[in-house]
Chain A
Amino acid sequence: MKNLSRLFVLFLVVLFIAIGAGNALGAGKYPEKPITMVIHASAGGGSDIFGRTMSSAIDKDKLLPQPIVVENKPGGSGGIAFAYVAGKKKDPYYLVTAVTSFLTTPLMGLTPVGLKDFTPIANFAFDEYMLIVNPKSKYKSVKDVVADAKANPKKITVGGTQLGSSDSICAYLIEKAAGVQFNYIVFSGGGEVNAALLGGHIDMAVANPGEALELYKAGKVRVLGVYAEKRLAGAPDVPTLKEQGINAIYVQNRGLCAPADIPADARKVLEEAFFKYTKTETFKKYCKDNMLSEAWMDGAAFGKFLEEWNDKYAVILKDMGLIKKK
């Protein structure tokens, strides 16, 4: 009986070693198990659509030997998801969606983790932004707006989402470039901003094409300008703000990051798979449907982009009074 239990313990020890060795030996072939993509926003939003479209395409076209599982961890302006993934240091089986809030939330001190806790993997696309008014508005161009804002400082109301969001940054960029001040009104979502604009309750709004292009096509809103270097493919008649003498350029990136210090080969595998994904019909259609500009960057380029924008946001948010002194 005693012998038997000894034997059993021995068996367990061997089993444990075997399992451990198996893990160590198999480490070369990433990925061996499904990868979790953490979406920092709730289901149905822009980042969710981005993640789910990609996950289904990667599965369908067999771009990776293992599936990508989508998990929503909304909350805290993305902070909950960022902290969760940052905590998976060295683990290449976690990814998190990275848009503007990926940089602004840490800058505003809303989460303890920051850029250094992540490995940039890839950027896929850019969201463009535009300035819209009600078609009955007296503003026909950004020049009209600037002239009126100079005559009546802080009188023109601009609708957008939470302070620190892309919308609020866009409104600020015009203020900065033209030396004027608006009256920024915060709404809880893009839909409510549009409703307030259509009802004539606010003078202008910042929106991305996904939110406003259908309204524009139906003549329900007038687009004064886009925050881009070049005119948008979906609205070639609309001039850029730059063309109108306002140097305000802004895009929101759509990318993915992994935790810090993941193995280099895993990063390479992911980059390659994602690059292939950007060549698929699914991705092209996704960009067209959601009116995004394709903007592929590999990990290194994306890392540089993030660093660069992190510095820009730091200046902008500080100017807006959103970075508290510690």
Chain B
Amino acid sequence: MDIFSNLIMGFHVAFSPMNLWMCFVGVLIGTLIGVLPGIGPTTGVAILIPITFGMDATTAIITMCGVYYGAMYGGSTTSILLNVPGESSSVMTTLDGYQMAKKGRPGPALGMAALSSFIAGTFAVLMLTFLSPPLANYAVSFGPPEYFALTFMGLTLVTSLGGDSPLKGLISGVFGLLVACIGIDAQSAVARFTFGSMSLLDGVGFIGVAVGLFAAAEVLVNIEEPMLQIFTEAKLTIRSLLPNLQDWKDSFGALWRGSIIGFFVGVLPGAGATIASFMAYAVEKKVSKHPELFGTGVIEGVAAPEGANNAAAGGALVPLLTLGIPGSGTTAVMLGALMIHGLRPGPMLFSSRPDFVWGLIASMYIGNVMLIILNMPMIGLWVRLLKVPYKVLMPLIITISAVGVFATDNNIFDMWVMAVFGVIGYLMKKLDYPAAPAVLALVLGPMVEMSLRQSLTISHGNLSIFFTRPISGTLTVIAILSLFAPFLRILWKKYRAGKTAAV
């Protein structure tokens, strides 16, 4: 019962007025950062660092973590309402969330996003409470071959994200991989596809591409046929704002699968919330009884990624607190901030600074409750946003997106990226190519390449490294099966047809 006494001590720390207040400030800022497209939790936490100088380390981390998981809540808002992903981890939420909004059900989509965030967030904190030290070993159990197998499996699922045509999904995915190749290659220090431009050395920024392909393209398409409002049904009752019983029934499986996938992917230092949300969505589509409806506005398509990205944010804290190894870009920034405070997370943190660790964990229970209280009443407000005529909304979307994209790295170049990919996204929409595979290939591409080359360098070019290790072997086999599943199905059907014809 050591954990409980520790947790009680943690709540003691977290309930001090200062910590409670800063936890609230953190989740509030996080929500706002989440709502703003482009600017994400990593930038948000970085901006906050100077403000935390005057605080003690525990208060500082409570605030920063509040921003982190708060952003995961807020990220879904613009994804659902405007097809503008607020963060990279909420790209998946746009697929079904925006369709739900278009169908006149923005309320239940937003409500389910908030509630699944809450449930998954709380699940992650529970896991963090009871399983952190044992999970440290799991976090480092993934080496290059395992990461390759995981990300390769992710790539094979890319085609399933497209609309009706797997071929178009594949083409979009390959386009994303190609864009991912731009920049300096870390393994050979050679610049690829940069055409002498220094701005391209670091590759094309993910945020600029995602906001361009989704937000800017959406606006461009809508200029042609200016709809007056996205959401015209005027009836806004509490009932229409919340998910109904059927929604809950549909989402139940997605919720717990999303939470579990999100958490365990989040714990891995080489993966993160974006991959988690994408995996959760793809898995949901695979296990669903009606996969063809995904992308047309099914509520599971919102619950799964939103649950996963919140659980992943919690999971990313496991390697940080148990080993001092950041599990995501945002936790890396937090690690830096803690060092400014003279606190260096490492394997001894749990024993040397229990007040810090347990204070943080307790604050996350409180923060999640604050977020749900903060977000639920906002839904009514957000839905009203859709009553703003689209011609007023359009310039606002573009301006806010551009500012957010710029603010990520203070780089004008990223705005050009957004503009160029806005045009590309427009063409893709016109020609009916899905954008999601391109965006996900852009995230996965560098990881697949890096881990493939790492593995092959370790094995001196021997491919058996992917099959002889238990975790990577299993994942690779699953990936290959999922890749060939459609062919096998066709073969099976032909076989069956042949048999019946013969009879």
Cα-based distance from A184 to B189 in the complex (angstroms): 13
Q: A residues bordering B, Cβ < 8 Å?
A: 42-46, 48-49, 52-53, 56, 71-77, 79-80, 83, 108, 110-111, 154, 157, 161-164, 183-189, 191-192, 194-196, 198-202, 210, 213-215, 217-218, 220, 285, 289-290, 322
Task: Rank and list the top 10 A-B pairs by shortest CB-CB distance, nearest first.
Answer: A214-B346, A201-B143, A43-B46, A44-B333, A44-B336, A199-B140, A218-B347, A76-B201, A162-B186, A163-B189
Residues of A close to B201: CB separation below 8 A:
75-77, 79-80, 110
> In the bound complex, do residue B323 and residue A195 qualify as a contact, i.e. CB atoms below 8 Å apart?
yes
Q: A74-B409, A163-B189, A191-B326 are in contact. Are A202 and B344 (CB under 8 A)?
A: no
- Flag whether B187 is at the interface (Cβ < 8 A): yes
> In the bound complex, do residue B339 and residue A199 qualify as a contact, i.e. CB atoms below 8 Å apart?
no
> In the bound complex, do residue A195 and residue B319 qualify as a contact, i.e. CB atoms below 8 Å apart?
yes
Q: Which of B451-467 contact A (CB under 8 A)?
A: 453-454, 457-458, 460
Residues of A close to B446: CB separation below 8 A:
188
> In the bound complex, do residue A162 and residue B270 qualify as a contact, i.e. CB atoms below 8 Å apart?
no
**Residues of chain B at interface, number, CB under 8 A:** 55
Residues of B close to A217: CB separation below 8 A:
346, 348
Cα-based distance from A201 to B333 in the complex (angstroms): 25
> In the bound complex, do residue A76 and residue B269 qualify as a contact, i.e. CB atoms below 8 Å apart?
no
Cα-based distance from A203 to B337 in the complex (angstroms): 30
- Flag whether B473 is at the interface (Cβ < 8 A): no
> In the bound complex, do residue B198 and residue A83 qualify as a contact, i.e. CB atoms below 8 Å apart?
yes
The smallest C-beta distance from B270 to any residue of chain A, in angstroms, reads 6
- Flag whether B410 is at the interface (Cβ < 8 A): yes
The smallest C-beta distance from A147 to any residue of chain B, in angstroms, reads 21
Cα-based distance from A161 to B184 in the complex (angstroms): 13
> In the bound complex, do residue A214 and residue B347 qualify as a contact, i.e. CB atoms below 8 Å apart?
yes
Residues of B close to A80: CB separation below 8 A:
198-199, 201, 411
Residues of B close to A72: CB separation below 8 A:
46, 409-410
The smallest C-beta distance from A137 to any residue of chain B, in angstroms, reads 15
- Flag whether B134 is at the interface (Cβ < 8 A): no
Cα-based distance from A230 to B362 in the complex (angstroms): 44
Cα-based distance from A133 to B46 in the complex (angstroms): 32
Residues of A close to B46: CB separation below 8 A:
42-44, 48, 72
The smallest C-beta distance from B228 to any residue of chain A, in angstroms, reads 42
The smallest C-beta distance from A288 to any residue of chain B, in angstroms, reads 8
Cα-based distance from A200 to B144 in the complex (angstroms): 11
> In the bound complex, do residue A196 and residue B198 qualify as a contact, i.e. CB atoms below 8 Å apart?
no
The smallest C-beta distance from B274 to any residue of chain A, in angstroms, reads 15
Query: Which residue of chain A has the shortest Cβ distance to B138 in the bound complex?
Result: A199
Given pairs A42-B409, A163-B187, 10 additional interface contacts (CB within 8 A)? A43-B336, A46-B336, A80-B198, A110-B191, A111-B198, A161-B186, A185-B454, A186-B453, A199-B140, A289-B339
- Flag whether B141 is at the interface (Cβ < 8 A): yes
Query: Which residue of chain A has the shortest Cβ distance to B326 in the bound complex?
Result: A191
Q: Which of B47-87 contact A (CB under 8 A)?
A: 47, 49-50, 53
Query: Which residue of the partner chain, among A46, A196, A213, contacts B144 with CB atoms under 8 Å?
Result: A196
The smallest C-beta distance from A5 to any residue of chain B, in angstroms, reads 38
Cα-based distance from A164 to B191 in the complex (angstroms): 13
A-B contact pairs, 27 of them (CB 8 A): A44-B49, A44-B334, A44-B337, A45-B332, A77-B201, A79-B198, A80-B201, A83-B198, A108-B189, A157-B457, A163-B189, A183-B457, A185-B454, A188-B450, A191-B325, A195-B319, A196-B140, A198-B325, A199-B141, A199-B142, A199-B143, A201-B458, A215-B323, A218-B346, A220-B323, A289-B342, A290-B339
The smallest C-beta distance from A168 to any residue of chain B, in angstroms, reads 9
- Which of the listed residues B184, B334, B446 has the most CB atoms from chain A within 10 Å of its own CB? B184
Cα-based distance from A290 to B454 in the complex (angstroms): 29
Cα-based distance from A72 to B45 in the complex (angstroms): 14
Residues of A close to B339: CB separation below 8 A:
49, 210, 289-290
> In the bound complex, do residue A71 and residue B410 qualify as a contact, i.e. CB atoms below 8 Å apart?
yes
Residues of B close to A74: CB separation below 8 A:
202, 409
> In the bound complex, do residue A75 and residue B409 qualify as a contact, i.e. CB atoms below 8 Å apart?
yes
Residues of B close to A154: CB separation below 8 A:
460
The smallest C-beta distance from B319 to any residue of chain A, in angstroms, reads 7
Residues of B close to A56: CB separation below 8 A:
50, 53
The smallest C-beta distance from B448 to any residue of chain A, in angstroms, reads 13
- Flag whether B161 is at the interface (Cβ < 8 A): no
Residues of B close to A83: CB separation below 8 A:
198
The smallest C-beta distance from B447 to any residue of chain A, in angstroms, reads 9
The smallest C-beta distance from A133 to any residue of chain B, in angstroms, reads 14
Query: Which residue of chain A has the shortest Cβ distance to B333 in the bound complex?
Result: A44
Residues of A close to B477: CB separation below 8 A:
none
The smallest C-beta distance from B434 to any residue of chain A, in angstroms, reads 28
Cα-based distance from A110 to B199 in the complex (angstroms): 11
Query: Which residue of chain A has the shortest Cβ distance to B139 in the bound complex?
Result: A195
> In the bound complex, do residue A202 and residue B142 qualify as a contact, i.e. CB atoms below 8 Å apart?
no
Query: Which residue of the partner chain, among A43, A48, A161, A195, contacts B269 with CB atoms under 8 Å?
Result: A195
Residues of B close to A192: CB separation below 8 A:
269-270, 325
Residues of A close to B340: CB separation below 8 A:
49, 52-53
Cα-based distance from A99 to B138 in the complex (angstroms): 35
Query: Which residue of chain B has the shortest Cβ distance to A161 in the bound complex?
Result: B186
Query: Which residue of the partner chain, among B139, B144, B184, contacts A201 with CB atoms under 8 Å?
Result: B144
- Flag whether B104 is at the interface (Cβ < 8 A): no
**Chain B 315-348 per-residue mask, 1 if CB under 8 angstroms from chain A, else 0:** 0000100011111000011111101101011111
Cα-based distance from A181 to B144 in the complex (angstroms): 21
Residues of B close to A215: CB separation below 8 A:
323-324, 346-347
Residues of A close to B336: CB separation below 8 A:
43-46, 48-49
Cα-based distance from A18 to B411 in the complex (angstroms): 35
Cα-based distance from A48 to B342 in the complex (angstroms): 15
Query: Which residue of chain A has the shortest Cβ distance to B186 in the bound complex?
Result: A162
Residues of B close to A290: CB separation below 8 A:
339
**Chain B 188-199 per-residue mask, 1 if CB under 8 angstroms from chain A, else 0:** 110100000011
> In the bound complex, do residue B344 and residue A214 qualify as a contact, i.e. CB atoms below 8 Å apart?
yes
